[in-house]
Amino acid sequence: MAANEASFKDIPEIYEVELGEALTARTEALSTFRELGPPDLCHVVKTTGRNGQRDLGSYHYISGVDASSSASLAAYINSLTYAIEESLAWFSKTPSWKVKNGCYCCFNAFSRVDMRVDVKIPGGVNAYVIDLRGERHDATPEIWQETYVSALLRAILYSDDPTYWLEAYRKLDPLTSPEGELRFLQAAESLFTKGWQVGSDPEIQVATVVSNHLTAGIMKYFGDSGRYQQAANLFEKLAVHEPEVSSLLAKSYIGMNEEVKAVQIISAAMRQTPQSYTLLHVQCDFLRSKGKHEWALKLARQAVNCAPSEFVTWEKLTDLYIDLGQYESALLTLNSCPMFTFNGRDAHRILPASRIHLPFHRPIGDILPDKQKTEDDEADPALQRLPAPGLRGTWARAYALLTRLVSQIGWDELLKTRSFVFVMEEEYRMQKAQGDIQQAVASTNGHVPDDMTSEGDAGEVVIHEDGTVVPASMDDQASTRGIISPSTESVGHSPIPTIKISTDDDDDEEEEEEDVKGKRKADESGDADDEADELDGDEEQEAKKEVDAPAPINGQQVKDMDTLEKPVQAAGEGEQNINESSPPPAQEPFSFSNKRLCERWLDNLFMVLYEDLRVWTIFRAEVAHFKTQHVAYRKTGLEWEILGDLGMRLHHKEEAKEAYQRCLDSPRYSQKPWAKLMEMYAEEGDIQRSIQTAIRVAAYQYAEYTEMTYPTQIARSFFKLGQIHGHAKISFTLLSMGLPAPILKIMDSYLQYGKTFKVEGYDF
């Protein structure tokens, strides 16, 4: 059998080893789907109708198909019957393959069941429900409505998630007409109170009626195109019964530039639900946009009191402390953030395939480089080992706050602030040693000297595991807490790594290393641990923390040395309540009373940040060195991409943009640099460059079977440009570029969406 005879022309397929194994595996995995569920699964059986010829089973993943009824899902399977590759020769003796039957599976995230539609060709359509135990039930209208909304939310939220990738995953437009959008809004309204059942983003601890995937999907769909009026109309109706929905309503009005109306809504809603942190956060953001950071800070503190177990409330408070330059309070607040184990998007179990058919989309695919490994797909192990890209969920968000902090005050100042507010390992040991000596003296003399009852001494005081020290008489948990033994981890003494750079032009060096402010301490050596623990609770984060002294730059020894101080380990690990309203008192020698214990995860994030800064500093030093030597500076495509990501993480936007641009010079198959540059150019309002990069992004998307127009990164960028220049100017620029007709049609589809749905800028 020729490879393509049974294959679909433009649709990806994974061929099964055993017929029907994909359906069996999905049924077994149903109970593992935690939230929205994975994309839909479409399974087909093909036959030649000849005796002795084995039937073939194949499947692909898909989102964007209308899942409102069995008829719409059966129509999709029926459309596949026309997609089989035709035999190339009319005189071919080989029998032609036909679709014999198909099964479409769509997960209902509200009732946690799988909706399935079996189609026999020719023949009937059978729709039924499979529950988590694998038992069959009849499909009801309520189940169909829930399935319809679940499918739409997946199509919207998975549309351009760079971390979610599946082989043979086809994406179609979820909503193609204003009538379809209206149906979505009506269904969302009727299911709104059940929204918490579908789960929420990993940064939200407890899904609520306003913080869940349903509200996130609605806000993303209407927000990306700036069409908040439709969302506001929906929330107006819902806010009557659910006052907390006013936070979403106010957000929508702010998006429509109806700020007075938004403030009136918040004011009225706060009287009804004063304890809603989402309402407080909308006010916070509004006040921040107006430069009223002090007022916003009070509201952020109130939000923490209303929802102390939510990460986002502490995150907002930390952000505001950074805005106000209260860096010690920012670090203490960050240390108090509750961290949650990251749960990624639901996915299918990957099964071994007999073969995989991935047809290539032409002609737009012709502009892409060959999808084969080259030396530009290789990178220095030091760059590939960076732990920060592996952070997810609350860990990634906490790290973003830390990088924002270091970009404002510099590394040296951040380390000083850290040692000012947290107990360091060395201090902990000295404190413990002091306590041991005094206990020995006390036991020898049979009494405790008067001068040993002060804070920090180990006489009649109890050292708690969170670092607080109180007299034993005041300790209400003395029996359970007591004196905690110091960490058994020893802190090794390793030399601080040096960054070797050229000293031909000192001014250049200082400019290139402005991300780490202040003088480097080349003559200082500090205690450094050989290895940082892996991040607690983050099962995916297993990156190494080894710190190797950097080698001479590209094999060349250069004269001078400069150092990036490595953070010494903070002591212990505990949980404590922090009073944000007052800054810590002046430091006393060897006293825990005015310091907190640093959470182990935050200590580890400091090591992650150190790794990022160390590599970035070496990179910028190399660039400076090669400039002074007038020598071309070369890296592989993957290395430039990693350095671009690193620059974005550390808030060096211009250097990151330069790295992404250098990445485009290599013949590497990668969408990321084009997508990142497209977003930057759209932000700057640069039509020509935005379109040039958007064409490449569209080519990559079509090559990966993303045949959707909206919501996508390209649509978002075009609509951003449209608000500034109008859609007509984008359209004329596209025409002036002399693009081939198929490519022009794809690019014009984004503007057609704008016209159909009346996105801002469509009429000028």
> What's the average model confidence in pLDDT over 387-401?
96
Judged against a pLDDT cut of 60, whether residue 286 lies above it is answered with: yes
pLDDT range class, residue 462, cuts 50, 70, 90: very low
> What's the average model confidence in pLDDT over 123-142?
94
pLDDT range class, residue 750, cuts 50, 70, 90: very high
pLDDT range class, residue 584, cuts 50, 70, 90: very low
Judged against a pLDDT cut of 80, whether residue 3 lies above it is answered with: no
- Rg of the chain taking only CA atoms, in angstroms: 30
355-357 and 169-171 beta bridge pairing: unpaired
DSSP run (H or E) holding 250: helix 246-255
d(CA 530, CA 546): 7
Termini Cα distance of the chain: 56
pLDDT range class, residue 86, cuts 50, 70, 90: low
> CB within 8 A of 425, min separation 6: which ones?
487, 491, 527, 568, 569, 570, 571
What global pTM score does this model have? 0.81
- What are the chain's domains? 1-173 (no CATH), 203-326 (1.25.40.10), 372-437+593-668 (no CATH), 683-763 (no CATH)
Judged against a pLDDT cut of 50, whether residue 489 lies above it is answered with: no
The predicted structure's pLDDT at residue 143: 97
pLDDT range class, residue 455, cuts 50, 70, 90: very low
355-357 and 461-463 beta bridge pairing: unpaired
The predicted structure's pLDDT at residue 451: 45
The predicted structure's pLDDT at residue 313: 97
Judged against a pLDDT cut of 90, whether residue 698 lies above it is answered with: yes
- CA 707 remoteness from chain centre: 23
**In this predicted model, what pLDDT tens digit does every residue of 241-278 receive, in sequence order?**
999 999 999 999 999 999 999 999 999 999 999 999 99
Between 96 and 475, residue with greater pLDDT: 96
Q: Provide the token pair at 75.
A: 């129509």
Judged against a pLDDT cut of 60, whether residue 134 lies above it is answered with: yes
Judged against a pLDDT cut of 50, whether residue 301 lies above it is answered with: yes
**In this predicted model, what pLDDT tens digit does every residue of 530-557 receive, in sequence order?**
333 333 444 333 333 333 333 333 333 3
**In this predicted model, what pLDDT tens digit does every residue of 562-573 receive, in sequence order?**
568 888 888 765
The predicted structure's pLDDT at residue 372: 83
The predicted structure's pLDDT at residue 414: 96
> What's the average model confidence in pLDDT over 217-224?
96
